[in-house]
Amino acid sequence: MLLYGSGAEEMTTAVRQGGKERDMSRVYNFSAGPAVLPEEVLKEAAEEMLDYRGSGMSVMEMSHRSKVYDTIIKEAEADLRDLMQIPDNYKVLFLQGGASQQFAMIPMNLMKKKKAGYIVTGQWAKKAYQEAGIYGEAVKLASSEDKTFSYIPDCSDLDIPEDLDYVYICENNTIYGTKYKELPDTKGHTLVADVSSCFLSEPVDVTKYGVIYGGVQKNIGPAGVVIVIIREDLITEDTLPGTPTMLKYKTHADSDSLYNTPPCYGIYICGKVFKWIRKMGGLSVMKERNEEKAKLLYDFLDESRLFSGTVEKKDRSLMNVPFVTGNDELDAAFVKEAAAAGFVNLKGHRSVGGMRASIYNAMPKEGVEKLVEFMRKFEVEHV
């Protein structure tokens, strides 16, 4: 049985030096967010830092109304549309305020009848649900809080009131490591989804949603940018009274995300990541890669005598993999030793404890292989 990896010192060297293509100074970063970005993208941005393609300035320094920047944002949108095959009747908005700003913006813009349904599968869904309660009636349609959000409730035949404005889900639960494998049956109501931590991780049928949105710092770019993909008929003047101009989708849709100064540099990096994904082969290739990486880790967790996964197998996320040893001290020792060996940010969220490996698009397969090798070694030493 191939159980044991290389010795600790060799391991450290191997991780630090990595393959030929890896920068020697970089660690394997399993952070849930802000998270790892493709090294190629970072290098290209570094090369363009002082002089973006003959403009004589950095993208950080240029007017958002300049021709050069216009090309950057238009290309970013076009590449995203191509990747996700976004139909023409959907707008793509590059906004600010992170994913959390949308917790308010969604009800302010969509709660015409002041009533919306929320499926509460984790802390982010819960925050969105609570925020919606400020603006109208937020109906909890289902929840998995009874078992620390370790599963996705059956949403195939929910009791959904007729008069809801929309049904809201958080599609991949970053903290708990669960993901909807099938979208809920909303019984004809508009589906709104927070996809922050599974954005561009696999192909998606945009037409099934009214709104898809996500903060980009998990799988796409630098924190602060949130991308909202919204069906045009949902963009109206008819927002809740008192909705600020900046929080109306119509404001941003009418001016192609240039109503005010957008997070220019962040959008530029997102654009580079879109091109990187296209070059890699698009979302079906991302899905294959992500499935391969997740399988390595889950298969190991299923056979391990020390580590185990914390969520129901059928609901496992491809992006966020929480696991525990069952002993808090051992968990802490693991996190510490792993960091010393170049595997960083493996500590689980404070509400779950244990460990969490976030293995987003930009995490190379080699990073997961080496993590598993390190876990095997740790297991041998501690069981």
Ligand X SMILES: *Cc1c(COP(=O)(O)O)cnc(C)c1O
* 34, 98, 133, 222: which one binds ligand X (CB under 6 A): 98
Window 178-237: residues binding ligand X (CB under 6 A): 194, 196-197, 215, 218
Our CB check for ligand X shows the closer of 11 and 138 to be 138
Binding mask 33-72 for ligand X (x = CB under 6 A): x---------------------------------------
Instruction: For residue 204, give the 3-state DSSP assignment.
Output: coil
Query: 10 Å Cβ neighbour count for 173?
Result: 29
Catalytic residue, chosen from 79, 165, 194, 331, is: 194
Name the E strands within the chain.
28-29, 90-95, 115-120, 137-143, 167-170, 172-173, 178-179, 191-194, 211-215, 226-231, 308-309, 320-324, 343-344, 355-358
Question: 328 catalytic, yes or no?
Answer: no
Question: 165 catalytic, yes or no?
Answer: no
Query: How far apart, in Å, are the Cα atoms of 238 and each of 36, 116, 177, 192?
Result: 39, 16, 37, 18
CB of 31 to ligand X, least distance (A): 11
Are 194 and 125 a contacting pair, CB within 8 Å?
yes
Question: 194 catalytic, yes or no?
Answer: yes
Residue 317 engages ligand X in binding (rule: CB under 6 A): no
Are 252 and 267 a contacting pair, CB within 8 Å?
no
Q: How many residues bind ligand X (CB under 6 A)?
A: 12
Catalytic residue, chosen from 91, 115, 218, 370, is: 218
Instruction: For residue 53, give the 3-state DSSP assignment.
Output: coil
Residue 266 engages ligand X in binding (rule: CB under 6 A): no
CB of 167 to ligand X, least distance (A): 16
CB of 170 to ligand X, least distance (A): 5
Residue 358 engages ligand X in binding (rule: CB under 6 A): no
Our CB check for ligand X shows the closer of 194 and 202 to be 194
Q: Which residue is nearest to ligand X (CB)?
A: 98
Query: 10 Å Cβ neighbour count for 190?
Result: 18
Query: How far apart, in Å, are the Cα atoms of 309 and each of 5, 365, 366, 371?
Result: 21, 19, 21, 15
Residues that bind ligand X (CB under 6 A): 33, 98-100, 124, 170, 174, 194, 196-197, 215, 218
Q: Which residues are catalytic?
A: 124, 194, 218
